[in-house]
């Protein structure tokens, strides 16, 4: 598997560099060549470079953990560093996303603070419906459940769902009325498809039952 | 218990590394091999790495305190680093949340400044009801108390509550009227369920008593 | 008293560590064991750790001053690091708050910039009432004073107050009229209760005197 | 005077610490005890602590200049670090404010970037009056000047002012009309009282002259 | 190819500097001239400069990766450091863009966190159409598909597209109705042209079919 | 001149400190007293202090350049660190402003990023007049020029201006119409006076010519 | 040319300082005077100063690149560090701008992240016209082209333009209709003049053709 290979190669490469550096230093010392000036020169240059390069070192450290902890895989839909999209490539240095406009984002791993992975095992399609306060709430709740059941029975959309509609009730008061909420468990990559189909069917159903009029 | 094990293992591992490093240095010194070049090489590399890796070191330090101080447990609903959700996993390096959309958040511990734990011993369902200034406030307050009493008596929702409705009175003036507030003490994980049911019952009750019309 | 104990223990603990470290170094030196390699190893590791741990060191320093300067006590209502609530616990490393929703906040002391303590000796309930420009201002001011006097005479709310209503006059112009302001001095923990009762009584009084109609 | 004492004590204390440290180092050196290990130990610990404690060192430095430059005195009304209130206490480490709600703010001096002192020698009460574009501006300006003259003659408010009303004219265009501005020089602590009284008298005067109708 | 040359030259130049510095140090040492003072002088100056110059070092490091990883090419339309425009020049130190107003942006590479490349292989023209809830959604969806088919058949715009219109359905609820969405795959540089033509044709078509009236 | 004196004194003071420090070090070395421990002690303390005091050092550096480059003079109206007002005092460490409310601002020089000096040689009074799209633009432009000419001829306001009104035309479209713009060159400290008088005269003129009605 | 001179002088000055410092160190060493204490003193002071002065060092580094890369010239209109205006002076340490109010901005070069140069070879005047959805779009597009052609033929404004009006079509949907866009290529310093004249002519033309009524 590619993820293990990437990490393994990185560790092997790092170990080689360490062994060569230490061995070289010891051999030079045995040959009577003073390594102090070389080290001092390297030290001054190293610090100057480290100031500028710390964000690159951070890229590799973060990338190492992204891979080892399996936070991001190719094909996932993620939100990192304020950018959301489908993952096209994960390396030790950056993650490449493509968003809904087809734009390609190169995100250096060190810029990633929190990884939001939208496609892990399941997701929920949440529907908020605003209605006036004198609406028959229970009738709306019933419409939500009926629409959900019809969707579950649909040969195209049913297999995309993982459960019945859950009605959450009167979620909050707004100046113009109240907000009613329900949700449905879906396959992780099908959340938006289910959500939009629920929106469409619910809007039509509320219209036909006279529960919401624009 | 897993929390104690995680911390104990980390401390044991850290002690081993320290002892091995110090012992190795002393032994090399006894064998007449100069450790200065090795240390100098390690120093230059170490500083360069420390610049880039400080956020990882911070992850472990913060994670250590999260576990020792018992701030976050699996199953809690927390708000950390601007992300809210239910905790699926706590390790020394990160906390994994799942939010209401089913999205999974990997939060490195070093990004956590303040932990807001929403599920500790109890919570409060706050209800704000906006009414015009010429409303009969006391009638609304009575409706709030009646709805609360009915909820307490409900076989499904009563056990989720930990006290009667407390009426807070006229909380603030708005341009369009005043905001009335009450709250109810609930089981920590049932706050939203109680709040939504209170919303539903109160909206219906105010309608039926003619105290609020959309 | 617990506050003094916490600080005293911390100082004693710190002194012990310093004495042991210095004494150990001197003894090792007397025994002819070179401490330079150990110190160098510790130095490289120490700097790497200090980079990551500086926020923890800052927690303890800030906590020390919070306690010595008596800025926060258990039971106070405070606002720190953007979080407001009642203090449940103060330690050298963090402050634990519980807010109005019953949520628990763990605030590391190093995150605290400015402490706002809402419950020190007294507080003020400020009431802003917006009215059109052609209102009889003096009649509103008289209503404010009358409501304040009635509250002072109330057996339940009177003892919570520390002075008469002070009328501040026409505080500012708004697009829709002007804002009138008054305030009342209260016991520090009773500010919100007095404020809400003032709101309620003033709204009713202005209605009954025909000075404000929604 | 307390301010001078605070600074003098701090300087004397600092000089003592420096002399003792240097003398101790020299004496130990004369006694043939190597101070290098102690210094090295102190150095490693010192750097680790300095990382965490730099904000405390900054508190004292900034506090020293606040006092020496006489920027803040007890009783002043100031705005520091985004907090405004009356100064109750100034020390080398923090400034304690009490704001209009009676809340107490502990502001560490290092958090203070810019000091805004609202009570130095004098202040100005600015009044902005919005009117439609077809208003008789000069009549409003005359009303402003008349109200100012009446206030100057008032036995209660006259002594609080330091000059006549200055009319600034048509300050800016808004979507709904224009904004007219005038101001009055006042005693530094009486600015808000004069401003509110000006607001009240001007609103009544404009009403009675038919220049502004809500 | 220019990109490879730029990187190759930079690496060769860097290697030369390193070899010359190390060789010079060794030769001076062989000649019995102490290099310590020179190195110390260089060290003090180097650290002072490194503090100020770290953003320049970062420019070159980031630029090196921009080129090696092929993130930005001349002629691409990109969004970097909050600036969007067409790339006129890419160097190791900066990227030069020209935006839609003809303004030229010089972006130092170190300021680039995330590269958004809008012109890689393909892009999507997304169209959001807001309609009241009682609209015949399916009729709008049909209009979207018909307009897309007509565009595909157009000799001027057809070759700019890479696929049929995809109808996404009822994307979200708004206070004033619902938002319907569709999108079309296009050549990367022709996205805006296709999007604007789709907007124009869809507005006309919805008008002519009576589905949307302003 | 005071500015030159301030800078000269600072340089002389700095040179004295350097000479004394170097000479003292050399003399102590000649006397056979090892300065290494003193320097080491000073070094550890110096770094700890430098962490906390760097903002003070920055104050002096920035202040030095403010004075040498003549960016701010007493009496100028400037905008620094988000604060605007008239400069009452400039020193090497801070700038003291007084704003339009009479508030005094102490701005440490290190907080000053960009200096905006509003009173250098000349300023411009810009007037934006919003009108509906069906207005006779050229008539408004003529009114602007006539008002400007009258102002130039005014014995009180004429000497404050440095040129005729320049008409800029139709500056931008707004939802409710278009914005017309003109400007007038003025003496640097008289900009607001001229601007307000232009506002007043233009509002009256547009009214009397029937070009703008509220 | 002044730009080359400024850079050349800076480089020559820098080389002189380096040569003098190294030579002085070597000579002192030859004379048997130990330079170690001087270097150590300079080192401690140097680091303390470097902390505070790093923004000044950055000013010179950035200024060097601004000049060498020819990003800003006197007379250009630029946007740097959030400030826009015409460049009056460019030095190695700062850029001096004058904005549309006649205010003078001193921008230290180190504060400049991205340079936006608005006057390089050409610019575009973009015109956005909002119309209801039932407008005859093509008639508006024709009006845009006609107005552009008339402007090109105008003896005063024609020479300021560099091309015909390009019609971009229906740019986006708004709640109240759609936004139509066109643009015209202009001389870099004449963009605003052309834009305002286009605004004026287009507003009149749309009125006279009955295509837009306020």
Select from B48, B131, B209 the residue whose CB has the most chain A CBs within 10 Å, as the one to mutate to test that interface. B48
Chains F and D touch (3+ CB pairs under 8 A): yes
Q: Which positions ≥6 away from B206 have C-beta within 8 Å? A: A133, B129, B140, B143, B212
Reduce the secondary structure of C87-151 to three states and give it as a string: EEEECCCEEEEECCCCCEEEEEHHHCCCEEECCECEEEEEEEEEECCCCCHHHHHHHHHHHHHHH
Q: Looking at CA atoms only, how far is residue B4 from chain C in angstroms?
A: 20
Q: Do D53 and C39 touch (CB under 8 A)?
A: no
Indicate the average pLDDT of chain C: 87
State the helix-helix crossing angle for A36-68 and E36-68, rounded to 10 degrees: 30
pLDDT for position A164? 94
| Residue-wise DSSP of E45-94 | HHHHHHHHHHHHHHHHHHHHHHHHTT---TT-EEEETTEEEEEEEE-SSE
What are the residue ranges spanned by the domains of chain F?
1-118, 123-208
Select from A169, A175, A178 the residue whose CB has the most chain B CBs within 10 Å, as the one to mutate to test that interface. A169
pLDDT for position C44? 59
Cα-Cα end-to-end distance for chain E: 54
Select from G141, G170, G183 the residue whose CB has the most chain E CBs within 10 Å, as the one to mutate to test that interface. G170
Chains D and C touch (3+ CB pairs under 8 A): yes
| Residue-wise DSSP of chain D | -HHHHHHHHHHHHHHHHHHHHHHHHHHHHHTT---HHHHHHHHHHHHHHHHHHHHHHHHHHHHHHHHHTT---TT-EEEETTEEEEEEEE-SSEEEEE-TTS-EEEEEGGG--SEEES-BSBEEEEEEEEE-TTS-HHHHHHHHHHHHHHHHH-TTTGGGB-SPPEEEEEEEEETTEEEEEEEEEE-GGGHHHHHHHHHHHHHHHHHHTTS---
pLDDT for position A1? 46
Separation of alpha carbons D113 and D66, rounded Å = 11
Show the low-confidence residues of chain F (pLDDT under 70): 1-4, 29, 32-52, 213-214
**E101 C-beta neighbours (distance < 10 Å), count:** 15
- DSSP class of F190: G
| Residue-wise DSSP of E91-120 | -SSEEEEE-TTS-EEEEEGGG--SEEES-B
Beta bridge partners of G117: E104, G78
Separation of alpha carbons F207 and D133, rounded Å = 8
Assign B151 to helix, strand or coil: helix
pLDDT for position E31? 74
Provide the ipTM.
0.86
The region of weakest confidence among C81-90, E65-74, F46-55 is: F46-55
Q: Which contiguous run of DSSP H or E holds residue A89?
A: strand A83-90
Q: Do F44 and D49 touch (CB under 8 A)?
A: no
Tell which residue, G207, A43, F104, A86, has the closest CA to residue D119: F104
Pairing of strands E94-98, E104-108: antiparallel
Beta bridge partners of D131: D178
Q: Which positions ≥6 away from F117 have C-beta within 8 Å? A: F71, F72, F76, F77, F78, G103, G104, G105, G106
Q: Do E176 and G172 touch (CB under 8 A)?
A: no
CB-nearest to G102 from F123, F134, F175 is: F123
Structurally, what CATH architecture does the domain formed by G1-119 represent?
Answer: Roll (2.30)
Q: A16 and chain E: CB distance < 8 Å anywhere?
A: no
CB-nearest to G52 from F35, F46, F58 is: F58
User: What band does G16 get if pLDDT is binned at 50, 70 and 90?
Assistant: confident
Tokens (6 digits) for C4 = 């003094």
Pairing of strands B94-98, B83-90: antiparallel
Beta bridge partners of A167: A182
Topology annotation, domain B1-118: SH3 type barrels. (2.30.30)
Please report residues of A whose CB lies closer than 8 A to that of B47: 46-47, 50
**C60 C-beta neighbours (distance < 10 Å), count:** 18
| More confident call, E26 vs G214 | E26
Please report residues of B whose CB lies closer than 8 A to that of C101: 118, 123-124, 126, 191
Show the low-confidence residues of chain D (pLDDT under 50): 1
Q: B93 and chain A: CB distance < 8 Å anywhere?
A: yes
Please report residues of E whose CB lies closer than 8 A to that of G120: 102-104
- Is residue B207 predicted with pLDDT exceeding 80? yes
Show the low-confidence residues of chain A (pLDDT under 50): 1
Closest residue in chain G to residue F134, using alpha carbons only: G214
Assign G142 to helix, strand or coil: helix
Are D132 and D177 a contacting pair, CB within 8 Å? Answer: yes
Range 72-91 of B in CB contact (< 8 A) with C: 79
Q: C93 and chain D: CB distance < 8 Å anywhere?
A: no
Q: Looking at CA atoms only, how far is residue F155 from chain G in angstroms?
A: 24
Assign E122 to helix, strand or coil: strand
The region of weakest confidence among C44-48, G2-6, G179-183 is: C44-48
Please, what CATH class does the domain formed by B123-208 belong to? alpha beta
pLDDT for position B76? 96
Select from A37, A92, A160, A198 the residue whose CB has the most chain E CBs within 10 Å, as the one to mutate to test that interface. A37
pLDDT for position D105? 97
- Is residue E28 predicted with pLDDT exceeding 60? yes
Residues C18-50: tens digit of each pLDDT: 778 777 777 876 776 666 656 666 665 666 666
Q: Looking at CA atoms only, how far is residue D187 from chain F in angstroms?
A: 10
Q: Looking at CA atoms only, how far is residue E143 from chain A in angstroms?
A: 17
Q: Looking at CA atoms only, how far is residue F73 from chain D in angstroms?
A: 19
Closest residue in chain C to residue B121, using alpha carbons only: C102
Separation of alpha carbons F93 and F10, rounded Å = 11
Q: Looking at CA atoms only, how far is residue F173 from chain D in angstroms?
A: 14
User: What band does B72 get if pLDDT is binned at 50, 70 and 90?
Assistant: very high
pLDDT for position F42? 62
| More confident call, A42 vs E166 | E166
| More confident call, D124 vs E61 | D124
User: What band does G1 get if pLDDT is binned at 50, 70 and 90?
Assistant: very low
pLDDT for position G149? 97
Tell which residue, G42, D13, D110, has the closest CA to residue F52: D110
Range 106-165 of F in CB contact (< 8 A) with D: 106-108, 111, 128-130
- Is residue E100 predicted with pLDDT exceeding 90? yes
Chains F and G touch (3+ CB pairs under 8 A): yes
Q: Which positions ≥6 away from C172 have C-beta within 8 Å? A: C178, C179, D199
Assign G84 to helix, strand or coil: strand
Separation of alpha carbons A84 and A79, rounded Å = 4
Q: Looking at CA atoms only, how far is residue B24 from chain A in angstroms?
A: 15
User: What band does G8 get if pLDDT is binned at 50, 70 and 90?
Assistant: confident
User: What band does E1 get if pLDDT is binned at 50, 70 and 90?
Assistant: very low
How buried is residue A52: exposed, middle or buried, by Cβ count under 10 Å (0-12/13-18/19+)?
buried
pLDDT for position E9? 76
| More confident call, G8 vs C194 | C194
Four-point Cα dihedral D138, D139, D144, D146, nearest 10: 120
pLDDT for position D1? 47
Indicate the average pLDDT of chain E: 87
**A54 C-beta neighbours (distance < 10 Å), count:** 21
Separation of alpha carbons A192 and A194, rounded Å = 5
Q: Do F116 and G128 touch (CB under 8 A)?
A: no
Q: B16 and chain C: CB distance < 8 Å anywhere?
A: no
Select from C42, C117, C169 the residue whose CB has the most chain D CBs within 10 Å, as the one to mutate to test that interface. C169
pLDDT for position B1? 47
Please report residues of F whose CB lies closer than 8 A to that of D175: 130, 176
How far, in whole angstroms, is CA B176 from its chain's centroid?
Answer: 35
Range 163-192 of E in CB contact (< 8 A) with A: 168-173, 175, 177-178, 183, 185, 188, 191
Closest residue in chain D to residue F102, using alpha carbons only: D123
């Amino acid at each position: 598997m590619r993820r293990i290979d990437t990490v393994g190669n990185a560790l092997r490469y790092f170990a080689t560099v360490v062994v060569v550096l230490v061995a070289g230093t010891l051999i030079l010392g045995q040959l009577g060549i003073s390594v102090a000036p070389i080290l001092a020169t390297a030290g001054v240059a190293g610090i100057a470079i480290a100031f500028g390069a710390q964000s690159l070192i951070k890229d590799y450290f973060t990338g190492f953990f992204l891979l080892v902890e399996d936070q991001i895989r190719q094909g996932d839909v993620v939100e990192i560093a304020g950018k959301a999209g489908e993952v096209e490539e994960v390396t030790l240095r950056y993650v490449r996303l493509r968003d809904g406009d087809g734009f390609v984002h190169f995100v250096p791993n060190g810029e990633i603070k929190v990884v939001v992975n939208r496609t892990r095992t399941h997701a929920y399609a949440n529907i908020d419906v605003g209605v006036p306060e004198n609406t028959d709430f229970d009738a709306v709740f019933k419409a939500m459940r009926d629409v959900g059941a019809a969707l579950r029975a649909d040969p195209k959309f049913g297999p995309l769902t993982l459960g019945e509609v859950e009605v959450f009730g009167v979620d909050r008061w707004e100046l113009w009325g109240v907000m009613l909420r329900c949700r449905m468990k879906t396959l992780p990559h099908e959340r938006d498809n289910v959500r939009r189909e629920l929106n469409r069917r619910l809007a039509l159903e509320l219209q036909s039952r006279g529960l919401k009029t624009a």
